[in-house]
Structure formats: C-alpha cells, structure tokens
Amino acid sequence: MGVRAQRQRESFPEPEKERAVMTAWERFLAGEREPVFSLRDLVARSWERCRRFAVDPRQVAAPPPIAESYLEEIKAGQRELLQASAPVMACARDFLRETGTVMLLADPSCTILTMEGDASTLDAAQIVHLQPGVGWGEEKCGTNAIGTALTLAQPVQIHSAEHFCAGFKRWSCAATAIRHPHDGEILGVLDVSGLSHSFSRQSLALVVTAAQRIESRITMQEMELRYRLLEVARSRSHSDGLLVVDRRGYPIWASANARAAIEALGGVIDFSRPSRLVGPMNSARDTPTVPPWLRPEWMEAIVDQGERLGAVVHLPLPRVGRAARGTSERQYLPNESVPHAFAGIVTADPAMQALIHKTDRLARAKVPILLLGETGVGKEEFAQGIHRAGPHAVGPYVALNCGGLSRELLASELFGYAEGAFTGARRGGMVGKIEAAHGGTLFLDEIGEMPLDLQPHLLRVLERGEIYRLGENTPRKVDFRLIAATHRDLRREVEEGRFRMDLFYRIAVTTVMIPPLRERKGDVAVLAAHFVAHFAGRHGLPAKPLSEEALTCLQQYAWPGNVRELRNVIESALLMSEGEWIERDDLPPEIWQGSVPTDEKLATAEGDRPLEGTITLIGAEKIAIMRAIATHGGNLTRAAADLKIAKSTLYEKVKRYGLGHAVVRTRGKN
C-alpha cells in the first residue's frame, strides 16, 4: 500500500469495514489480538488507553451533567473562547439544521460548553448525555472524537463501532483541537456529531475549517486586548524599568532599562521567540507563579473595567558606582524635599523646588492647568506629577502631542471613530484619547499647534463633558482632568487669531511657568550626574565622573534645548569617553567652543580638516552616529541602515570624526 493511501486510510473511518471493526472490539474485550488491517492504529491505541483507564465498555451513556451553577462558572472562565466561537456556533445552528448533525464546543478538560444544530439530533444526544456540562474525555467515555482529538492533539474522526463503549456505537463524530495562535496551547475542542447514518468524510474538513475561523477570531481578540493593555499600562506606570506581561503570562513590551535589569537579575527575555514568563492571570484574583529572579511584589495587576488585562513588572534598575573623586558628591545629589508625586523631577534649585510645591497644591483641585515653558524643560514630567498628586491619580494618564499630526489624524486620535466611519477604519472603531482618559488625566502637549477648526470641538467636550466619536451621533459621557502645555505665547496667538479666546480661558484656569535650564544652573551638575547613571545602566557602561573642566563647560553653556539637550549631550559624552572620566573633549564641540562656528575651531575640532555646516550640526550628527553604533553593537551595516545612509558614507564619517575607537569598544561589549 502506498504512503498516501496509508495516510488516507489512517485519517478516515471506513464504514464498509464496520462489521470487521465490531469483531475486532469483541476479540479485544476477550483479550485476543485482531489483525492490524481491520483496525486503524489510532483507534487501536485509544482502546489500549481505555483498558488502562478501566473504562467500562458496556456503558450506555456518559456521566450525568454537572450542576448548572458549576457549568456557568466554567463558562465564565472560558469567556474568550465562547466569544470567539459564537459566530461559528450561530452559523451551525442554521447550517446543520435537518442534516442530522450537531456542533459541540468543549473546554480543555473535554467538558461540553455549548452545542447547536439539528433539533432531532439534539434530543437523541441527550439519551447518551452528549450535552453541555458533561465531560467526554477518554478516561470517562472511552474512544470518542472529542476525547481522542484532545489526547492526540490532532483532528480525529471516529465512526460507529470504533467507539470503545457500546452505548456510543450508533454515533459518528469528527473533532479537532482549537489552539491559541500565539503558542499553540489547546484552548478547547470543536466537534460535529450525528447518528451513524449521517457519516460523511466532509465532517472532518468542516470541523477543521470552523476551528480555524475560531482561532482567527481569537487572534483578533488577543491583539485588541494587547493594545488595550499597552495603552493602560503605559498611562498608569512611569518607571524606567517597565515590563508589560499579558494575562497569559507572555511579555509583550519592555523598556530598554527593563531589559538591562532582567539580564542583571539573571533572567532572559526574547521577543523573537516569546515564552511564558509567569503563570496565566485569568481573573483579578489570580496570583501567578513567577520565575526565581522575579519577585511577586514587583508585579502590578492591570485591571480595566473589571477585566484583568495582564500586569506590569516594575524592575529595580542595576545600581551604578558613584564618582570616586572629582566634584564633590554634594553637588551631584538633588535636594530631596520635593513632594513624592514629583519625585521624578531631578532638581536642586530652590526656586524650582518652590514651583514644584506650588504645583503640588494646585494639583489637588480638579481645575485645568496650563504648563508654559520652552521646549525641553520637562513639561511632561510636571504633567505626570500633577496626575499622581491629583484627585484622578487612580485613573489612567493619557498623553497626546498635538503637533506633528495632520488635522484628520489628530481628530481621530482625540475623539476616536466608529466602525465604518471612513475607508480603512479599524473594525469595531477606535477609542480616542479623550475617551481613554475617562476617570483620569488627559495631557495635551503643544496645544498651541491644534488646528483652529478643531478647537471648538475640544471646548464643547470641556464644557459639556460629552464626546462624539467620528461617524457617531450618540454622545458619550466623559470625566477627566485636563493638563495642557505649550511653548508658544498663547495670548499673542489669540490676538493674531490663531487660537480661540474662549478655549484659552477654559484651559488656562491656572498656569505654571517652568523656568529654562539656563536659569537654574545649579541643576546642571545634578542632572548631568543623573543622566550619566541612567545611560550607564542602559548601555552597560561604567558610570564615570565629570572632570571639573567638563562640568564648567556644561554650566557655562546656554542650553537652548534645555534638559532634553543636556540629556542628549551626556549620552553622547558617555559613549565617546574612553578614560575613567568624562573630559571636556568628550563633549560635543559646540558645548566647549561656543555656539558661533569659525574655520579655526572647525579645523581644531575635526583634525585640521574644515567641514561644511555649523558645529551644532556636526555635534548632532556625531551623537546620532554614536547612538546607532551603540544600539547595533558596533555592526556598521545595521547602523548605516538605521541612519538611512550608505555603509560607505558611514565608514567615511566614522573615520572623519575619529570614532573608530567607539566601534571597537562597543563590539567588545557584545
């Protein structure tokens, strides 16, 4: 017999051999062995298991169903499976009518959850307890499609005499396991059953196709839940070492610092080949199992609208060594007298600390707050502190930058949209940022960039507490705290007709003016030390002290980009530094040569080779190249692709800027 014919014979029953199969069963019960040609191997192996389970071959029905209350409890735990299969089961209700067959859905323990199909067959099924609430595992009911498919984890068709128990030999059934698309875990079993005369080889194809439809819906459900989990987790958690785990225990996102922390703790996270990190979290009451390196107290459950979506893990970041000598330790430590909600703002400046205390008091009232300040001063850090100190601290924190988005994209991000609102709209629609912030805080950065025609819609939301999704006519109630921020002079924008006066007075009930870094020079040393420690942990480098000369350069610089620019400069200097200290020459040239370029300074900075452009552009380019080299472990091919330049161009720039040592050093650390 050919291989293909052998496989086909093994996959499908052969009704014409039913008498031979019945004879084989009788001889099996008598302890005899039947020649192999009369029995499929999968059936023979199943009968052997039934003998080991001590299943009674003379039983005429499955065990009675469990109590209705217990079944409802099981179904509650299988809610996602039931939701995904609902359209398939509804289709079966109509499609299988008058076919003499029914479709059944069972959980991973083979307990039937629901069934649909031909009415007369449903009645006949009750005689053998083929009904919801009954377990059809092989250990209880012998060879049958549901139990055998689960045991073998493959599609199975069992016909008539192939059943082990006498009471089921009038039935023909086909079943297959339903697997989770992400890891193949068996979530349940789908079965089509009928009396023997309904036998069709197409039943197996039908059940496999239906199971694939259910698995596709599970994929969609899982992605929606993961998006929702990420949105909620990021809005509620602000630590640097953050790991997000879905409700099935799989990691789905980790910050760069979290990955370094996991490695330091002896753990492994590989998103290219995800594996379960902690035990499943199906309800808010579950206490999942964790690996040895992860402490349960680091985990925070993410529950939204009463549903457990997963958890965030707040990982302790690796400690870095302090400076052994140089500028005194006192200068590197910020004054820790700021309120706890604003602990993320690093400062030693008395005026800045006073402003934080004032903002903390304002945060306790539910009024809107407008944050004013130059780009890079830390407006988002203030917004997060206001959220944590305010009456909506337990709710979500949702942020949106109003700049850099087209009017249409900004409108959909703010207000969301209904299904079918426009071509390409997501199935089921999308929740906008305003609606997502219900019960919490909405932070609108760069609100001065909001198009004029969108401003009255935001004003309506603030005044009436209701929102219309794009494409909907029914309002949705929302309650949130608004924090807005801008670097623009909004009063001038109002005078020049680019910002509505009524919206300005609505969002600027109270204002907080955040000073630029150049007005808080005492913070330069504090922030520099903070960023050294931060990036040392991120890049796996030793924390180095700043030399007196380097610190003096930093303190004398005007910092037009404020704290954000200082952060970038320190990251670049740490990556470029080869000695035990961060020296003046490790800083970008514009920091220690001033902001006005000259041919002489260019020649000195770049090895007597004058370059075109300004020193600021040179420094920015060097920073970008150093970051790409560090990110890709010294692999210049990947770094060039990341920078979107030719590899030959990157080689030239590495040589021109004298960065060869950085490539070698970075490769040595990987």
For residue 193, what is the domain's CATH number?
3.30.450.40
Average pLDDT, the chain: 82
Residue 495, in any domain of the structure: yes
Provide the CB-side half-sphere exposure for 205 (13 A, CA): 3
Same domain, yes or no, for 58 and 124?
Answer: yes
* Confidence class for position 413, pLDDT limits 50, 70, 90: confident
Per-residue pLDDT, averaged over 378-407, amounts to 87
Tell me the two tokens of residue 472.
């909907």
Is residue 129 over pLDDT 80?
Answer: yes
Is residue 599 over pLDDT 50?
Answer: no
Is residue 330 over pLDDT 50?
Answer: no
More confident residue, 333 or 305: 305
Q: Which of 314, 334, 361 is the last residue of a domain?
A: 314
Percent of the chain with pLDDT over 90: 42
Residue 664, in any domain of the structure: yes
Give first-to-last CA distance, the chain, whole Å. Answer: 56
Residue 44 Cα distances to 48, 142, 259, 569, 660, angstroms = 6, 12, 51, 72, 69
Same domain, yes or no, for 41 and 114?
Answer: yes
Q: How far, in Å, CA of 356 to CA of 520, rounded?
A: 14
CB atoms within 10 A of CB 652: 12
Give 3-state DSSP helix, strand, coil % of the chain, rounded to 5: 50, 15, 40
Same domain, yes or no, for 432 and 484?
Answer: yes
Structure confidence by residue, pLDDT tens digits, 63-112: 999 999 999 999 998 998 999 999 999 999 888 988 999 999 999 999 99
pLDDT for position 34: 55
Burial of 200-228, coded b for 16+ CB within 10 Å and e otherwise, reads beebbebbeebbbebbebbeeebeebbeb
Q: How far, in Å, CA of 165 to CA of 50, rounded?
A: 9
Same domain, yes or no, for 86 and 212?
Answer: yes
Same domain, yes or no, for 98 and 50?
Answer: yes
What is the count of structural domains for the chain? 4
Residue 19, in any domain of the structure: no
pLDDT for position 540: 82
Is residue 530 over pLDDT 70?
Answer: yes
Residue 416, in any domain of the structure: yes
Same domain, yes or no, for 615 and 487?
Answer: no
pLDDT for position 24: 92
CB 207 within 8 A of CB 192: yes
Q: How far, in Å, CA of 563 to CA of 604, rounded?
A: 28
Q: How far, in Å, CA of 35 to CA of 169, rounded?
A: 21
Same domain, yes or no, for 67 and 152?
Answer: yes
**For residue 386, what is the enclosing H or E element?**
helix 379-389
CB 487 within 8 A of CB 374: yes
Structure confidence by residue, pLDDT tens digits, 196-248: 999 998 999 999 999 999 998 898 888 778 878 877 887 766 666 788 888 88
24 closest CA partner among 141, 125, 181, 143: 143
Instruction: Identify the weakest region by mean pLDDT among 66-75, 109-118, 419-428.
Output: 419-428
Most distant CA pair in the chain, distance:
104
Residue 211 Cα distances to 204, 257, 297, 316, angstroms = 11, 41, 39, 43
* Confidence class for position 662, pLDDT limits 50, 70, 90: low
More confident residue, 595 or 29: 29
544 closest CA partner among 573, 575, 586, 582: 582
Q: How far, in Å, CA of 614 to CA of 629, rounded?
A: 23
Is residue 580 over pLDDT 90?
Answer: no
Same domain, yes or no, for 243 and 213?
Answer: no
Residue 524, in any domain of the structure: no
CB 462 within 8 A of CB 506: yes
Is residue 165 over pLDDT 90?
Answer: yes
pLDDT for position 186: 95
Is residue 272 over pLDDT 60?
Answer: no
Per-residue pLDDT, averaged over 516-535, amounts to 88
Residue 452, in any domain of the structure: yes
Residue 335, in any domain of the structure: no
Is residue 370 over pLDDT 90?
Answer: yes
Is residue 517 over pLDDT 50?
Answer: yes
Is residue 608 over pLDDT 50?
Answer: no
More confident residue, 56 or 375: 56
Same domain, yes or no, for 386 and 454?
Answer: yes
Instruction: Identify the weakest region by mean pLDDT among 270-279, 337-346, 531-540.
Output: 270-279
DSSP for 56-81 reads -TT--SPPPPPPHHHHHHHHHHTHHH
Same domain, yes or no, for 269 and 400?
Answer: no
Enter the DSSP assignment of 441.
E
pLDDT for position 332: 38
For residue 436, what is the domain's CATH number?
3.40.50.300
Same domain, yes or no, for 440 and 572?
Answer: no
Q: Which of 314, 330, 358 is the last residue of a domain?
A: 314
Strands (E), 71-198: 101-106, 112-117, 156-159, 171-179, 186-195
Per-residue pLDDT, averaged over 6-29, amounts to 79
Per-residue pLDDT, averaged over 420-444, amounts to 79
Same domain, yes or no, for 589 and 492?
Answer: no
Q: How far, in Å, CA of 594 to CA of 315, rounded?
A: 40
- Domain range for residue 608? 538-668
Per-residue pLDDT, averaged over 473-491, amounts to 92
User: What long-range pairs does 222-225 form, CB within 8 A, spacing at least 24?
Assistant: 222/180, 222/181, 222/182, 222/246, 224/428, 225/309
Burial label for 11, CB within 10 Å (0-12, 13-18, 19+), is middle
Residue 523, in any domain of the structure: no
* Confidence class for position 456, pLDDT limits 50, 70, 90: very high
Is residue 322 over pLDDT 80?
Answer: no
Per-residue pLDDT, averaged over 259-287, amounts to 70
CB atoms within 10 A of CB 52: 9
Tokens 């099996």, residue? Answer: 28
Tell me the two tokens of residue 479.
């309650």
Q: Which of 192, 219, 246 is the last residue of a domain?
A: 219
Structure confidence by residue, pLDDT tens digits, 613-624: 333 445 566 767
What phi and psi, each to the nearest 5 degrees, are found at residue 445?
Answer: -80, 150
Tell me the two tokens of residue 116.
């649909």
* Confidence class for position 578, pLDDT limits 50, 70, 90: confident
